[in-house]
Chains A and B, each alone.
Chain A
Amino acid sequence: MSDLAIRSLSKSFGGVRAVNDVSFDIKRGEFLALIGPNGAGKSTCFNMINGQLPPDSGEIWFEGAKLNGKKPRDIWRLGIGRTFQVAATFNSMTVIENVQMALISHANQVYRLWKPAASLHRERALELLAQVGMQDAADRPSRELAYGDVKRVELAIALANDPRLLLMDEPTAGMAPKERNDLIALVKRLVIEKGISVLFTEHSMDVVFAFADRIIVLARGRLIADGDAKSIRDNPQVREVYFGTGKTFQKSEAH
């Protein structure tokens, strides 16, 4: 059974068809990479799934529920966690309070006016921070963290509602190669432990080929390939998209 089903999704900005008739599935527990050159429509695709952008046409299904027209906060409540391309936390809070905020929201306690928030779900928050290796920084102001650590905290926040699907938009953007591998390895481990499915976009091919179970490739808004690492690597269309054919260069020489 597939967790997330995308059916003929399309979105245009002005005359540009940013995402054009894209369909794919994610099976439970699958680690799926969505790759493609800049401007291929990856982020647009993501923002339609997480509810930030309404699709022009097509359908998005998650565990039998249609996501079209739902707000980001409602989609989160269905069990879909997410991390952002540019990671950030709630800067006026400590690291653990960031996680506690998500746990409070998950427990539907947002409108409580009395009990101090800092005393709620502290144990669980520490557990989540321990999973991403950030328990030692729990009581530091989150704005003081290094960027790589912010990414880890963001992951802990995304895990707070026990998601069954995790959407990660360029999880390693802005990180050093060593950090990248560590973070993705961490995600992969957690995903296997908890049986979460993950859809992520990524520019680092090393990361993609080393960790993804399956890879789908977008180019100019269309899905051009879908398969495991080897078949994607050998796909002539994908090579053309990434490396070009040299034709543009030949043409300009012919003049």
Chain B
Amino acid sequence: MSFNAFLFQALNGLSAASGLFFVAAGLSLIFGVTRIVNIAHGSLYMIGTYIAYSIATKVGGAFGFWGGIVITALLVGLIGAAIEIVLLRRIYRAPELFQLLATFALVLVINDATLWIWGPEDLLGPRAPGLTGSIEVLGRRLPTYDIFLIFVGPFVLWMLHLALAKTRFGRLMRAATQDREMVGALGVNQAMLFTGVFALGALLAGLGGALQIAREPATLATDLIVIGDAFVVVVVGGMGSISGAYLAAVIIAEVKALCIGLGIVNFGGFTVNFSKLTLVAEFLVMAAVLIARPYGLLGREQVAVRSVAEPEEPLRPSTPATKIAGLILLVVLVCLPLIAKNSPYTLVLGIDVLIAVLFATSLHFIMGPGGMHSFGHAAYFGLGAYGAALLVKWFAAPMGLALAAAPMLALVGALLFGWFAVRLSGVYLAMLTLAFAQIVWAAVFQWETLTGGSNGVLGVWPSAPFDTRTPFYFLTLALAAFGVLLLRKFLFAPFGYAMRAGRDSPLRAEAIGLDVKRVHWLAFAIAGAVCGIAGGLFAFAKGSISPETIGVSRSIDGLVMVLLGGIQTLTGPIVGASVYAVLQDYMMRSTEYWRALLGGIILLLVLAFPSGIVGGFVKLISRRKTTSKAAS
């Protein structure tokens, strides 16, 4: 690649950086003030592209385009304010991460609403009136609109800086980012502040989306792609830092542009196609930054937010009643093939549910008692699934061997990634785990010769005697029950207590001789290995495995299951996974708009049971007890 071509790619990168910056800045502002990780931010960006498209094509002309962009930004800002007032305001006092579940539900709802309004086709907007030409830069033609975008980013950055430095609202925002409680204690109307910040963040996302219509078509896949990129940018730049977000957006966009520009390069007979490494490169940059500067390039260590969540009950060994209930459940599950003789589909669903239970329980192991909120648990599921599938594909390994290898590969991955992850905490840990999961996903997706790329690995069928449905169901049941009970046993053992001690108070745990990082690292590895079993079973249950089944959405599914069931109880993930898997299956079969329905149900559950299904149930019982005591 010549030097000129290199510079040209750099310019391209700068224009892409602006859009990335708008979303990331909004996300960062919202997180800084409200401590909400707004997964729906990519959805707001997506709505921006669609609304701007509609205005530009319906109204037409220069006003339709440029005026449309402004109107779109304002409209999306209003939508953001509405979301904050109607939904989020009700759950600020809910346990940590619970808002996450709500914003994820919004992703589902908004995606289907967009599908309903605009339809499934990609929509390409008109070219920007007045900026349709291109000028020659370094011997190549660069669209003038791209040049415009290069300048819009820094301009908005400058405006935001002014607003934050000079206005009262800006000062309040900076104050709330540093110490929200103190701002509240000073008598500032927090509700107004939060709504304002949310509206501003949404407005930025809408603006970013609207500006894209002249470059890229509006599509329904935008939301998750954009939120993934925005997470990376915010974390690399430092949570809550606007300048950091711009710096990081430029770095990420440049790295991507460079990869595309490099294309296929020969290293002494070894060809590397860099244009296919964009995803891996992006997340490698993030992992490297987080390891070197755990709070991002321009971020500062987060002030611990005093938890408003209700403290956890001590773990008690199961009562005889619970034990009997568990036994009855197990008996019912063992008899399921008999009960469901006439509906073979029940067993298929049963296998899915059991795999989901194992997946969610392993995630809960590190999320609940370990306090490590992993956003990338799909990595270990994927390593297990691909480990098993590739053994079958390349070595024609028998199922027993492949299923034994699944947790091993996942364990190795979890030991490697966990070593880095436990050095961080909170949102940064969550984002680093997400980055590792994306690296696994991208490696699987782009290493076609080994993994079959997007087609995945086919023909992974179980060997006899498990090659029919009922025996395979029993195998799954046995392994799932084994995994769940094993993790439960660990939690009651000294190791599990040490995990909780390290979560409750790291300082105090160290002061009584515990190596907190080591304990959490091993916990991470154990959870990864058990998750690998779920992955291996999944590959054999479906007979195939493809990258799309181990993507971000599986990690998020896991989070939803754990939070839905209730993070503070050990039965929570089991109930959450079962409910979620059955609901998803039922709705996928009954309506095209199953995402919206699922999202709606999650929202209802979030508002009705802020401590999860099992948590809510437990609270209900204890309330009964106290009232009956008071009555007697």
Contacts and interface: CB of A to CB of B under 8 A. Distances in A.
Contacts of A130: none
B513 interface: yes
Interface string B309-348: 0011111010000000000000000000000000000000
A229 interface: no
B500 A92 contact: yes
Given A92-B504, A143-B311, A118 B317 contact: yes
A73 B314 contact: no
Contact of A116 (B312, B492, B510): B492
B512 A101 contact: yes
A141 B313 contact: yes
B508 A84 contact: yes
A20 interface: no
Contacts of A90: 500-501, 504-505, 508-509
Given A101-B497, A109-B494, A115-B493, A91 B511 contact: no
B314 A105 contact: no
A241 interface: no
A51 to B, nearest CB: 9
B522 interface: yes
B597 interface: no
Interface in B470-525: 489-490, 492-498, 500-501, 503-505, 507-515, 519, 522
B515 A93 contact: no
Nearest to A99: B512
A94 B311 CA distance: 12
B512 to A, nearest CB: 4
Contacts, number: 108
Q: How large is the interface on B (under 10, 10 to 19, 20 to 34, 35 or more residues)?
A: 20 to 34
A109 B496 CA distance: 12
A73 B515 contact: yes
A243 interface: no
Nearest to B369: A92
Interface in A200-247: none
Contact of A110 (B311, B315, B490, B495): B495
**Residue among B313, B495, B511 with most chain A CB within 10 A:** B511
A93 B514 contact: no
B311 A92 contact: yes
Contacts of B311: 91-92, 143
Interface in A161-195: 161
A105 B513 contact: yes
A132 interface: no
B3 to A, nearest CB: 45
Contacts of B509: 90
A90 to B, nearest CB: 4
A50 B522 CA distance: 26
B498 A110 contact: yes
Contacts of B508: 84, 88-90
Given A92-B314, A94-B314, A161-B512, A104 B494 contact: yes
B513 A161 contact: yes
Contacts of A110: 494-495, 498, 514-515, 519
A4 interface: no
B513 A112 contact: no
A52 B311 CA distance: 27
A118 B505 CA distance: 19
B505 A88 contact: yes
A31 interface: no
A132 to B, nearest CB: 16
Contacts of A71: 510
A112 B314 contact: no
B366 to A, nearest CB: 15
B528 to A, nearest CB: 16
Contacts of B501: 90, 93, 101
Contacts of A142: 314
B512 A93 contact: no
Given A90-B508, A116-B492, A161-B513, A101 B317 contact: no
A159 to B, nearest CB: 11
B312 A105 contact: no
Contacts of B496: 117
A72 B508 CA distance: 10
Given A93-B315, A94-B314, A105-B513, 9 more contacts: A73-B511, A73-B513, A91-B311, A92-B314, A93-B314, A105-B514, A110-B514, A110-B515, A141-B313
Interface of A: 50, 52, 71-73, 76-77, 82, 84, 88-94, 97, 100-102, 104-106, 109-118, 120, 141-143, 157, 160-161
Q: Which 8 A-B pairs have the closest CB atoms?
A: A92-B312, A90-B504, A105-B513, A117-B497, A102-B512, A117-B494, A116-B492, A73-B513
